[in-house]
Amino acid sequence: MLTEITNQQIKDFRTATDDKHNNIIRRAVTKNGIHSASFDQEIANINTPIFSIDLDTGKVANQKQSGRCWMFAALNTMRHDIKDRFHISDEFQLSQSYTLFWDKFEKANYFYENVLKTATEPLDSRRVSFLLTTPQQDGGQWDMIVSIIEKYGLVPQSIYPESKASSATAELNNTLNTLLRHDATVLRGLVAQQASKDKISNARNEMLANVYRLLSLTLGEPPVQFDFEYRDELHNFHVERQLTPQDYYQKFVSWDLDEYISVINAPTADKPFDATYNVDMLGNVVGGRDVKHLNVDINKMKAFAISQLKDGQSVWFGVDMGPQVDRESGLMASGIFASDDLFNVDSTMTKAQRLDYGESLMTHAMVLTGVDLDENDQPTKWKVENSWGEKVGKKGYFTMSDDWMSEYAYQIVVKKEYLSSELVNIYDNSKPTLLSPWDPMGALA
């Protein structure tokens, strides 16, 4: 049955909207916008940037016009540790461009792998369509940066600095994705022709050579060996010579990355708590670490993060950075923009409903560097280190209300030691449920 909008309906709606109250709202919103007109100062007042646990993590980084937040968040957690152990200045950063190079290179190979796996499926199948929509992008997940570090190590930013393309990745992504889609036509054509494995392998190798050259000419040739010089906070000079990127990681970071795991909160009916999940076609390094999530209740997730913060270590975490976020003041607080009250509507949904109906998913990764605990040791607000530079928030730091975290935080990365033995056993030994490529828990930060 078709239900058209009638002229009488429009007349009725116009009449209902024409009163003094609505005219006041109209003037306020048309002049100031929805967010400014609905800003709740009382919520801002109770979310002051003061925290009972507050790690000194130094100056924030800036991902600029790139989607590398997941890399920045991961490298920032490691940078915090380097700063504490080696007393390096706040200006020090690990090279985000170096990990970008290898991520792009490996994602190209991962794309070719999936093109060949789906080569006999029609172009309009959902899997092939999903694959070709975005052959690669800047975003990623914790387990993906682990795969890059385990294979390629890390280097300081001074050794492999930012380039024009790493700081503004749109041109590189467009160029690379066009090349990858072209390569997909070739690979699918070879499979259709029943070409030999050797012919397909040779074609794939030539494609990878083209990708490597494109990245090298755009981002710069990544270092194989280098000397690292620095002065500590007491101005003492230090030098480490002839380091490989793997040597550098072992010397200056030396984390056992197998001990750090992804814990998520996805309260949807299809994902029971205290169980693990993989996502089909999600990854970057063929043969690398699988993206694997342990789904738990939100209060457990918070407790794990608090335990790690209490031990002096910052926490990688992923959120939906769109709703109820005021960038100017650096506030992430439910109700900070009371737009439902402003327009006299009800748009509330549960966290599960937002996931199921496409209203929300993880879009950004940052670092938890503090938390404010009440007299019962329960969190009231959290300190967040972003990677958007010092001009947003409070010198780049945000304050996140605890209720906002409940609604819009989806993932943290913590050491296994903060989980119960039962949950560690589930993570290590249970067979993960495989989710569809387009599942919201496969979103890339």
Q: Which of 384, 259, 355, 366 is nearest to 317 (CA)?
A: 366
Catalytic entry in 69, 76, 173, 295: 69
Q: Specify whether the CB–CB gap between 289 and 327 falls below 8 A.
A: no
Q: Is position 69 annotated as part of the catalytic site?
A: yes
Q: Is position 182 annotated as part of the catalytic site?
A: no
DSSP per-residue string spanning 371-431: EEE-TTS-EEEEEEE-SB-TTSTBTTEEEEEHHHHHHHEEEEEEEGGGS-HHHHHHHHHSP
Q: How many CB atoms lie within 10 A of CB 39?
A: 19
Q: Residues 400, 403, 407, 410: what is their CA dihedral angle, to the nearest 10 degrees?
A: 50
DSSP per-residue string spanning 222-274: PPSSEEEEEEBTT--EEEEEEE-HHHHHHHHT---GGGEEEEE----TTS-SS
Rounded CA separation 368/316 (Å)? 6
Q: What are phi and psi of 279, to 5 degrees?
A: -125, 125
Q: Specify whether the CB–CB gap between 267 and 407 falls below 8 A.
A: no
Cα 202 → chain centroid: 34
Catalytic entry in 62, 114, 177, 364: 364
Helix (H, G, I), strand (E, B) or coil at 367: strand
Q: Residue 376 corresponds to which amino acid?
A: N
Q: Which of 243, 186, 176 is nearest to 214 (CA)?
A: 176
| Strand partners of residue 231 | 237
Q: Specify whether the CB–CB gap between 257 and 150 falls below 8 A.
A: yes
Long-range CB contact pairs, 268-275, < 8 A, 24+: 268/352, 268/355, 268/356, 269/352, 271/295, 271/433, 271/441, 273/297, 274/422, 274/423, 274/426, 275/426, 275/430, 275/433
Catalytic entry in 177, 278, 295, 386: 386
Q: Is position 45 annotated as part of the catalytic site?
A: no
- Catalytic residue set: 69, 364, 386
